[in-house]
Amino acid sequence: MPTLTIDGQSIEVPSGTNLIEASRQIGVDVPHYCYHPALSIAASCRMCQVELHQEGAPPRVVVACQTEAADGMTVSTDGADCKQARAATLEFLLANHPLDCPICDKAGECDLQNFSYWHGNAQGRFREPKREAIKRTSIGDHILLDQERCILCTRCTRFMDEYAKAPQLVVAGRGDRNVITTFPGEKISSNYEGNLADICPVGALTLEEFRFKSRVWDLTHQDSVCPSCDRGCSIRLETKRNRLLRVRPRENPNVNGHFMCDIGRFGLLESCNPEHRVSSLRQLDDSSNAPNAVDLARELLVTHAGKWLILASSRMTLEEAVVVRDAFAPHLAPDGLVFISAAEQPGDDILYTGKQAANESGLRLAGYRECTLGEVRERVAAAPDTALWSFDGDVAGQVLVQNRTRFAAIMDCWNSSHGQEHPDARPHDVDLFLPALLFSEKNGTWVNRDGVLQRLRAAQRAPVGTLSIAELFAAILDRPASSPGCPDRTHHSLGTLGLNRLPLSQIPATGIPIDSLRAEVAAS
């Protein structure tokens, strides 16, 4: 554990820590382009220069990314020499940069802009005509390349080589003819393309899906968790006027590191901006006199008392799972809480697991049992008066198609698979359809495959007429719902699971391992 001094502050860091990371620990940002904590060191942009004083050596300017902290070092990140070196590097980088910020998607979150404000000169001295290169070209399913804006930091090529394991981007040419490019005539093909636009420090690699959609400062951000597989990557949902425009990974060493996959990133743009969505309650037989959904549901619960078989959805939050369990408890058939586990699709050994089971771990914790479609069918066949309540429109659709089972109720965003009502899912097979919320409209928690409890926050407002599972069943139980869409009762939910109680507000952004809550219970 070397101890060093950075800008007058003494700090002890683990050995092997470079000077950028060591500075970060005392809140000092050393500007950099080519360095990325998840990639190998290139040391080529020369932006992160700092002054280094070491006993027995004359003071010198070094690149912080490549210099490991050592005992007795004194580092200055704002000395005259390194300021001059940084300003020079910026002047070089800007010499041929097109400065087309007004039409660049990156503007506002661009490190070339930021560092120029903080470390650059106000005036450029480059008189020559700027270098011309390919201005916009599609290099993959989602990525556009602008070789003029590129500063050749090679984060993208190293990302493709080292992380995506798809070495499809290279630097071609030499000197000032260097360009980032693909194999002639080929495009990149990877499940991790979207990250290229995130790691590109300038506007050279931008997303086709986000192109000219919004200035970044007009976006509203909300932290959430990706539902596309049971990895549960930490993500940030970025919306404008309630429409989801961009999804980006959040750094989380417990779950996904720095990145996320394209299945999640681009899939959500479709599923969270659905073209077809059911937003009104539908009843097959409207003879009931119940005035609202709560009374309707309460009446239904009693009508089928003792016969209920609940098909939960892996997109239900832990809180929803608990409140549903509690509301149905007096009325359930034996072994009445089940979920159909998602089929295993091929994963990719990086992040994507192939199993669409966002909160299956949470369902298990809450006492739901995994079962198969066949088992559901057999149980219905053996006891025809079984009342089925499904929280998963897709699963309900499959049951309906395959053996015409009658559902007492379905509560989901869609009547059947993916935004469109399934032709066979005729309303007369379902006594009551309750339109529910998208995951991006919910507050609550999910538990991923590795037992990490993470918080979702509503990024979009739900349309009028939709119902929150948590609110609906809290009302049935006469429990207070403290905020719209989310009774803030994770501390209650966790408590009923025999875990240490933890209010939502105390769950860290990187989540918390369920086991650590258990351990504290055991200890106390």
Partner 1 sequence: MEKYLSLHFERSTPLGLEEARAQGRYATAETVLRQKAPDEVIEEVKAANLRGRGGAWFPAGVKWSFMPKEPQGPSYLVVNADEGEPGTFKDRQLMEKNPHLLLEGILLASYAIRAHTAYLYIRGEYLASYRALVQAVKEAREARLLGPNLFGTDFHLEVVIHRGAGAYICGEETALLNSLEGRRGEPRPKPPFPAVYGAFGRPTTVNNVETLANVPFILERGARWFRDLGAPTAPGHLLFGLSGPVRRPGVYELPTGTTARELVEEHGGGLIGGKALKAFVPGGASTGFLPADALDVEMDPETLRERGTMLGTGGIIVIPDDVRIVDAARVFSRFFRHETCGQCSPCREGAAWSDRVLARFARGEGHRDDFDLIEDIARGSTRRTICVFPEAFAGPMLSAIRHFRDEFESGVAAPDNPTSVAHQEA
Candidates 18, 76, 77, 96; binder of partner 1 (CB under 8 A) is 96
Distance, CA of 319 to CA of 166 (rounded, Å): 40
Asked whether position 116 contacts partner 1 by CB under 8 A, the answer is no
User: Over 4-34, what HEC string results?
Assistant: EEECCEEEECCCCCEHHHHHHHCCCCCCCCC
**Among residues 92 and 137, whose Cβ is nearest to partner 1?**
92
Distance, CA of 138 to CA of 118 (rounded, Å): 32
Q: Which residue has the tokens 């309906």?
A: 400
Quick one: which of 380, 315, 362, 372 has its CA closest to 338? 372
Asked whether position 80 contacts partner 1 by CB under 8 A, the answer is no
* Distance of closest approach, residue 94 Cβ to partner 1, in angstroms: 9
- Asked if residue 147 lies in contact with residue 135, where contact means CB atoms within 8 angstroms, the answer is yes
Asked whether position 92 contacts partner 1 by CB under 8 A, the answer is yes
Asked whether position 151 contacts partner 1 by CB under 8 A, the answer is yes
Distance, CA of 428 to CA of 426 (rounded, Å): 5
**Among residues 96 and 448, whose Cβ is nearest to partner 1?**
96
Asked whether position 349 contacts partner 1 by CB under 8 A, the answer is no
Asked whether position 127 contacts partner 1 by CB under 8 A, the answer is yes
Q: Which residue has the tokens 């968790």?
A: 225
Distance, CA of 133 to CA of 137 (rounded, Å): 11
**Among residues 121 and 280, whose Cβ is nearest to partner 1?**
121
3-state class (DSSP) for residue 171: strand
Asked whether position 74 contacts partner 1 by CB under 8 A, the answer is no
Candidates 175, 346, 384, 423; binder of partner 1 (CB under 8 A) is 175
Q: Which residue has the tokens 């369990």?
A: 325
Asked whether position 166 contacts partner 1 by CB under 8 A, the answer is no
Asked whether position 46 contacts partner 1 by CB under 8 A, the answer is yes
Question: Using CB atoms within 10 A of its CB, is residue 301 exposed (0-12), middle (13-18) or buried (19+)?
Answer: buried
Distance, CA of 94 to CA of 523 (rounded, Å): 58
Q: Is the dihedral of CA 148, 149, 152, 157 positive or negative?
A: negative
Asked whether position 91 contacts partner 1 by CB under 8 A, the answer is yes
Candidates 2, 25, 26, 88; binder of partner 1 (CB under 8 A) is 88
Asked whether position 294 contacts partner 1 by CB under 8 A, the answer is no
The one-letter amino acid at 436: A
Distance, CA of 117 to CA of 110 (rounded, Å): 11
Residues from 199 through 218 that contact partner 1 (CB under 8 A): none
**Among residues 45 and 388, whose Cβ is nearest to partner 1?**
45
* Distance of closest approach, residue 216 Cβ to partner 1, in angstroms: 25
Candidates 26, 38, 61, 166; binder of partner 1 (CB under 8 A) is 61
Q: Which residue has the tokens 């869409």?
A: 485
**Among residues 127 and 241, whose Cβ is nearest to partner 1?**
127
Stretch that binds partner 1, among 92-100, 132-140, 314-322, 438-446 (CB under 8 A): 92-100
The footprint of partner 1 on this chain (CB under 8 A) covers a number of residues equal to: 33
Strands (E), 149-304: 170-172, 179-181, 205-207, 220-225, 234-240, 243-249, 282-283
* Distance of closest approach, residue 154 Cβ to partner 1, in angstroms: 8
Distance, CA of 76 to CA of 60 (rounded, Å): 10
Quick one: which of 493, 453, 456, 497 has its CA closest to 477? 493
The one-letter amino acid at 472: L
**Among residues 174 and 428, whose Cβ is nearest to partner 1?**
174
Asked whether position 44 contacts partner 1 by CB under 8 A, the answer is yes
Asked whether position 95 contacts partner 1 by CB under 8 A, the answer is yes
* Distance of closest approach, residue 453 Cβ to partner 1, in angstroms: 41
Distance, CA of 429 to CA of 407 (rounded, Å): 6
Asked whether position 5 contacts partner 1 by CB under 8 A, the answer is no
Candidates 14, 59, 173, 374; binder of partner 1 (CB under 8 A) is 173
CA distances to 72, 81, 188 from 242, rounded to whole Å, are 53, 48, 32
- Asked if residue 186 lies in contact with residue 141, where contact means CB atoms within 8 angstroms, the answer is no
Q: Which residues pair with 222 in a beta bridge?
A: 237
Candidates 9, 10, 37, 126; binder of partner 1 (CB under 8 A) is 126
Asked whether position 182 contacts partner 1 by CB under 8 A, the answer is no
Candidates 77, 89, 460, 468; binder of partner 1 (CB under 8 A) is 89
Stretch that binds partner 1, among 174-182, 194-202, 234-242, 255-263 (CB under 8 A): 174-182
Distance, CA of 76 to CA of 17 (rounded, Å): 17
CA atoms within 13 A on the CB side of 148: 16
Asked whether position 45 contacts partner 1 by CB under 8 A, the answer is yes
**Among residues 47 and 75, whose Cβ is nearest to partner 1?**
47
**Among residues 85 and 225, whose Cβ is nearest to partner 1?**
85
Stretch that binds partner 1, among 91-99, 388-396, 413-421, 500-508 (CB under 8 A): 91-99
Binding site for partner 1 (CB under 8 A): 41-47, 49, 61, 66, 84-85, 88-89, 91-93, 95-96, 125-128, 151-152, 154, 171, 173-178
